[in-house]
Structure 1
Amino acid sequence: MVGPGRPQIVLFGSSIVQFSFSDGGWGATLADIYSRTADIILRGYAGWNSRFALKVLDHVFPKNAVIQPSLVIVYFGGNDSTHPHPSGQGPHVPLSEFIDNMRKIGEHLLSLSDKTRVIFLTPPPMNEKQIQLVFGDAIRGRRNDLCSPYAEALLNLCKEINVKGIDLWTAIQQQDDWLNTCFTDGIHFTPKASEIVVKEILKVVREADWKPSLYWKSLPVEFPFNFDVPDSISLCDLELARNEQLEPPPPGTARM
């Protein structure tokens, strides 16, 4: 392990997670925000569903690990909710099984330590016309009306097992012209959509009553900024200012 030790924040999921470290991606932005306070660890697997995730859960998150993550942000559901293929093959997972799988994932993660926190991200909406334009017949069975029940059921599960849930289905659709600004191919996120994801995550982490807090401003900064050497620019102030646009609005402020 590279020291000093920091809190570990693990991103676990399918392509929405794997691709999040691309330029302008939400995972890359979180890594930037937490660059002096925590390690953002990527465990994303394109094409996977919750059924696949269960097969590797003990390998990715072993209960006997010396260091356990402080926070795990989980995304599955977009592949699970695709229309069933007549052959029975493909990524589709029935809704009842999806919820059972996510319950097992959540309970396993919560059992890692009494300080491990969990956030579930719901399936986001999609641009069906853009999917057809980009992929043609190579990808079929992706529809907004199929995603919605998975998102709703996942949020209900979050309340039941006491994990935080982020409703990406709603958050993205509240943006102006979301169909044309939030997707690179109808499924995966543009920097605009990734910014929405980051703001939603920061809002949840800031408002959570977790002890210790995992909000980036509350975590100790690794090493002094300038070891008390006088500087015309305060590096600490610069560090705070550069992420100001991603700060969640104060409670009660209308979403823009």
Structure 2
Amino acid sequence: MIGPERPQIVLFGSSIVQLSFSNDGWGATLADVYARKADIVLRGYYGWNSRRAIKVLDQVFPKDSANQPSLVIVYFGGNDSMGPHSSGLGPHVPLPEYVENMRKIATHLQGLSDTTRIIFLSTPPVDEVRVRENTSKIVVEEILKVLKDAEWKPSLHWKSMPTEFSEDSPYDLVYTDGKTTLNPSDWTFHREIKWD
């Protein structure tokens, strides 16, 4: 473990999750928003469905781990909903089984600790232009809205979480007056979108 224990946010799912750190994806944006507040942990598996996910729950989320996640964001369903292949192979999972698999995932995650929270993402809409252009922005906005509105104690919204090492220091950057230092703890000027 590195340094003091920070809250852990785990992204768990299929390729939508695995690729969320690529090309300014939603996982990368969350990592930026939660810099110095929480660790974003990627557990995405390209091509996986809910059937495969339930087989590894104990390995990915061991119940006896001393450090349990504060939040798990789960996405499975895109591969499950693909049409069945005539060979019987492939990622298709019938809807009743998918619902039961998601229930098993929720039950396992709820059993990790009293403070582990869960957000389930649904399969994205089939508006290909909007999906191509804005998926990451839409996903982050919705996740942050849920976190802001949730009445969880403690709150997991980024603005309500303490910033690690946020005290002023003589080692901070010096302002143009040559006398004042600038504490960079919560600088967000580099973000294209200002998250509320």
| AA in 2 matched with 1:221 | T
Q: 1:212 and 1:28, CA in 2 relative to 1: closer, same or farther beyond 3 A? A: same
TM-superposition CA deviations, 1:79-108 (whole Å, max 9, x none): 000111111111000000000000000011
| AA in 2 matched with 1:123 | T
Q: What does residue 179 of structure 1 align with?
A: 128
1:1-256 to 2 correspondences below 5 Å: 1-126=1-126, 178-183=127-132, 192-224=134-166, 226-227=168-169, 231-232=174-175, 233-236=182-185, 238-239=187-188, 241-243=189-191, 245-248=193-196
Between Structure 1 and Structure 2, which shows a larger proportion of helix residues?
A: 1
> Equivalent residue of 2:158, what SS?
coil
TM-superposition CA deviations, 1:166-194 (whole Å, max 9, x none): xxxxxxxxxxxx522423xxxxxx5x210
Structure 2 length normalisation: TM-score?
0.90
Q: 1:25 and 1:78, CA in 2 relative to 1: closer, same or farther beyond 3 A? A: same
For residue 230 of structure 1, report the CA deviation from its aligned partner. Answer: 7.4
Structure 2, gaps ≥5 residues long: 176-181
TM-superposition CA deviations, 1:2-43 (whole Å, max 9, x none): 112100000000000000011210001101111110000000
Q: Is the 8 A contact 2:30 2:140 kept in 1?
A: yes
Q: Is the 8 A contact 1:225 1:235 kept in 2?
A: no
What RMSD over aligned residues (CA atoms) do the two structures have, in Å? Answer: 1.8
Q: Output the CA distance in 2 between the equivalents of 1:244 and 1:115.
A: 32
Structure 1 length normalisation: TM-score?
0.69
> Equivalent residue of 1:67, what SS?
coil
Q: Output the CA distance in 2 between the equivalents of 1:40 and 1:237.
A: 18
Q: Output the CA distance in 2 between the equivalents of 1:64 and 1:118.
A: 18
For residue 196 of structure 1, report the CA deviation from its aligned partner. Answer: 0.7
Q: Output the CA distance in 2 between the equivalents of 1:110 and 1:74.
A: 13
Q: Output the CA distance in 2 between the equivalents of 1:224 and 1:231.
A: 16
Structure 1, gaps ≥5 residues long: 127-177, 184-189, 249-256
| AA in 2 matched with 1:98 | Y
Q: Output the CA distance in 2 between the equivalents of 1:42 and 1:230.
A: 32
Q: Output the CA distance in 1 between the equivalents of 2:186 and 2:24.
A: 23
| AA in 1 matched with 2:146 | V
Q: Output the CA distance in 1 between the equivalents of 2:136 and 2:167.
A: 28
TM-superposition CA deviations, 1:107-161 (whole Å, max 9, x none): 11011000000000001123xxxxxxxxxxxxxxxxxxxxxxxxxxxxxxxxxxx
Q: Output the CA distance in 2 between the equivalents of 1:246 and 1:46.
A: 30
Q: Is the 8 A contact 1:10 1:71 kept in 2?
A: yes
